[in-house]
Amino acid sequence: MDVQDIKNRFGIIGGSPLLNRAIDIARQVSPTDMSVLITGESGSGKEVFSHIIHQLSARKHGAFIAVNCGAIPEGTIDSELFGHEKGSFTGAHEARKGYFEVANGGTIFLDEVAELPLGTQARLLRILESGEYLRVGSSKVQKTDVRIIAATNVDVYNRVKSGKFREDLYYRLNTVPLRIPALHERKEDIYLLFRKFSADFSDKYRSPGIQLEPDAIQVLSNYSWPGNVRQLKNIAEQICVLEKDRNVTVSALLNYIPNESATNLPMAINGNNKEDFSERDILYKVLFDMKKDMVELKKLVAEIIQNGGNTQHIMADNPHYINQLYQEIEQSPAGYEPTLTIKKPVQNAPVDYNYTHHEAEEVEESLSLIDKESDLIKKALKKHKGKRKFAAHELGISERTLYRKIKELNLN
């Protein structure tokens, strides 16, 4: 069976070289019992490829069980996968077979495999190495003959380096890596898929067919499709049901496609957003604050130049600025010597300035982002008297991220 036959059999639309390559790898690995790790963005069709591998293998008459590892609670996933004995835990009123026992002689597809707890990973590794496992609450070794196909939409190797995924299990699962291309990597297929989906939904809802104008086709093809094929299918269904004019223009299409300019910001700007952007948030804030300081400094230097170097009236007109400058000098790192010595003004008292000119000395400033990040965290903690909750809010990051950064930078 060649690549085109597989497309026809499993309803795969598209002629992208990356898609053809993925189908060819699935075709070649199917007759073996090798473990396959399918990677790709969410909605790109990873489960379809698991069905291809199973249906083209010698196990096609055996059971095929798809398990979403991220949807099963950590406390029950061992029971789901490996079974349990009666009375092994609260609520275990009778013995139960697990998926590996039910699928004996067939195939198990473990979707979102990177979400497995470490304890379950150890049990899965034993099955891959010897085909043996234990039911929860049992000491009797069970045997199973199951082919494992795993899938994930995250970089598993990064999870290995962070200690969240076993390295030995990663290499066992990744015997054959199979990457499914994202929809934005196969632009030539986007309109073909839209036509297929819209035709199917027109038949389903007994409505007239949908036609896209040339400009609308261009917009459709250039959109990034973060939700991949699943998102494209949903939008095709919405247009078939909701659009009265069956000749879809660009303006009509944009009512269904999210505005990318509103979703591609470099950092979170909503204070209620709990997503953890960690270092990125802090670094952007450092850069923005540095830019603001430079603008203020340029304004001050320009005023000094315009007045022939006389700073007395500038200082007299800006007492709040001088107070702020004094505080910043006070909080500067050890070893910093300002060339401008200022006595802190007393409230409701004449401002006394002692202008001391030193010979200009060029000091090389540290450009390390880690130093800037550490300095910013220190200032925020000092400003809020060590209260980390308020310091985290000031920095625009979560309290959990602040705790982690304090530990990493040894700021305790």
Decide if 305 is inside a domain: no
Residues 144 and 17 in one domain: yes
Contact assessment for residue 283 and residue 369, using Cβ atoms and an 8 Å cutoff: yes
Predicted pLDDT at 141? 93
Helix (H, G, I), strand (E, B) or coil at 179: strand
Q: Tell me which of 21-25, 232-236, 246-250, 285-289 is least confident.
A: 285-289
> Residue 129 is inside which H or E element, if any?
helix 118-130
The residue ranking higher by pLDDT, 326 or 209, is 209
73 and 175 both lie in a single domain: yes
CB 178 within 8 A of CB 137: no
Structurally, the chain folds into a number of domains equal to 2
Residues in contact with 292: Cβ distance below 8 Å, sequence separation at least 6, in sequence order: none
- The answer to whether residue 49 sits within a structural domain is yes
Q: Is the pLDDT of residue 339 over 70?
A: no
Domain-ending residue, one of 129, 163, 181: 181
Determine, yes or no, domain membership for 51. yes
Contacts of 211 (CB under 8 A, 6+ apart): 246, 247, 248
* Residue 390 forms part of a structural domain: no
User: Does residue 55 sit within a domain?
Assistant: yes
**Is residue 11 a part of any domain in this protein?**
yes
**Domain hosting residue 210, numbered range:** 184-262
Q: For residues 177 and 190, state if they share a domain.
A: no
- The values of phi and psi at residue 228, to 5°, are 60, -145
Angle between helices 279-306 and 388-395 (to 10 degrees): 70
Beta bridge partners, 37, equal 150, 177
- The overall pTM is greater than 0.85: no
Determine how β-strand 211-212 pairs with β-strand 64-68. Answer: unpaired
Q: Which of 134, 158, 181 is the last residue of a domain?
A: 181
Query: Which residue is it, tokens 């209620």?
Result: 272
pLDDT-derived band at 268, boundaries 50, 70, 90: very low
134 and 239 co-located in one domain = no
CA distance 410 to 198: 57
Could you tell me the pLDDT band of residue 149, with boundaries at 50, 70 and 90?
A: very high
Q: What is the mean pLDDT of residues 100-104?
A: 94
- What does the pLDDT read at residue 410? 76
With a CB cutoff of 8 Å and minimum separation 6, the contacts of 45 are 12, 180, 228, 229
Q: CA-to-CA distance for 193 and 32, rounded, in angstroms?
A: 31
CATH number of the domain where residue 168 is located? 3.40.50.300
Is 108 in the same domain as 130? yes
Q: 77 and 206, same structural domain? A: no
Q: Same structural domain for residues 112 and 255?
A: no
What is the CB-side half-sphere exposure of residue 340 using CA atoms within 13 A?
A: 11
Residue 61 shares a structural domain with residue 209: no
Domain stop point among 143, 162, 181: 181
Same domain, 138 and 111: yes
Inter-residue contact 81 to 123 (CB < 8 Å): yes
Q: Which helix (H) or strand (E) holds 219?
A: helix 214-222
| CATH code for the domain of 224 | 1.10.8.60
Are 159 and 189 found together in one domain? no
Q: What is the pLDDT of residue 275?
A: 41
The answer on 152 and 10 residing in a single domain is: yes
d(CA 90, CA 78): 14
The CA angle 398-402-408, to the nearest 5 degrees, is: 140
Specify if 64 maps to a domain: yes
Mean pLDDT (the chain) is 81
Pairwise CA distance, residues 308 & 392, whole Å: 44
pLDDT tens, residue by residue, 30-77: 999 999 999 999 999 999 999 999 999 999 999 999 999 999 988 899
Same domain, 34 and 52: yes
Task: With respect to residue 206, please indicate whether it lies within any of the assigned structural domains.
Answer: yes
Model confidence pLDDT, tens digit, residues 280-327 = 556 666 666 676 677 777 777 777 766 665 555 555 555 555 555 555
